[in-house]
A = this chain, B = another copy of it.
């Protein structure tokens, strides 16, 4: 299946994540990717879950070399996942990588979670730079099975280079946390529509002041088996192509009849 992929060209891979450079997921991913390429790790020095596509501008960043199990592992940046890819590309690595892989995230990034995900934002930052990119997550927060997901990421990287993924597109991969013989297969999917049912728990601190803690659960409303969250619930690996053109073209067409140009004169008249 890797017809155009030349194995003599060792893949140059930049790896990041949002759980931080010391997490288990990125360690397992890197061990596997070293078998298929030259790996450079640039990842947040601390956990950065749910930071979305935040970037750091008001304060400077620092870069630190990190060793794991006695060996040089990579570069820690005291910023967000998107910061790591930006500074990794601009100030750490010399060549443009063949692929950027973000993960392995502890917890799924499906449906509405894609919006909040730091894991996805690192891969998206690469896609913005026209570099092929993959975000990989395993569905459980206490992941038992990283190995299949790591191998899958390496194979998908080879495939997307062979197939020439369009610039500006990244692949969002979610893998069920199962022994590999229980994984049913792979599905090409769309982003699901499921959303969170959230509440803020109201509590009182030791000084008598109120504080609020976000809690909730994903309300799975998707019925289409070709949606990401549904696919992993059905024990399939989900692969979703996503991009960063947020234009709603359907509404764009509909709004042609709204005559929004009239809002100019309405707003210029002295009062509403």
* Residues on A facing B (Cβ under 8 Å): 1, 32, 35-36, 47, 49-58, 60-63, 82-83, 86-87, 90-91, 112, 114-116, 121, 124, 128, 148, 151-152, 154-156, 159, 163, 165-166, 169, 180-181, 183, 185-188, 190-191, 195, 198-200, 202-203, 209-214, 237, 239-252, 254-256, 258-264, 266-268, 271-272
Contact = CB atoms under 8 A, between A and B. Distances in A.
Given A91-B202, A263-B186, A246 B251 contact: no
A212 B62 contact: yes
A206 to B, nearest CB: 13
Nearest to A251: B241
Contacts of A190: 247, 249, 252
* Most chain B CB atoms below 10 A, which of A90, A199, A248, A266: A248
Contacts of A114: 246
Nearest to A181: B268
Contact of A112 (B128, B151, B185, B267): B128
Contact of A203 (B60, B116, B259): B60
B241 A247 contact: yes
A151 to B, nearest CB: 4
Given A55-B116, A128-B195, A191-B246, A264 B185 contact: yes
A223 to B, nearest CB: 16
Contacts of A211: 60-62
A239 B264 CA distance: 12
B52 A87 contact: no
Given A154-B272, A200-B90, A211-B62, A165 B251 contact: yes
A1 B54 contact: no
A169 B251 contact: yes
A267 B180 contact: yes
A259 B261 CA distance: 47
Contacts of A32: 272
A213 B60 contact: yes
A66 to B, nearest CB: 16
Contacts of A163: 255, 258
A267 B261 CA distance: 55
A214 B86 contact: yes
A32 B36 CA distance: 59
A110 B133 CA distance: 24
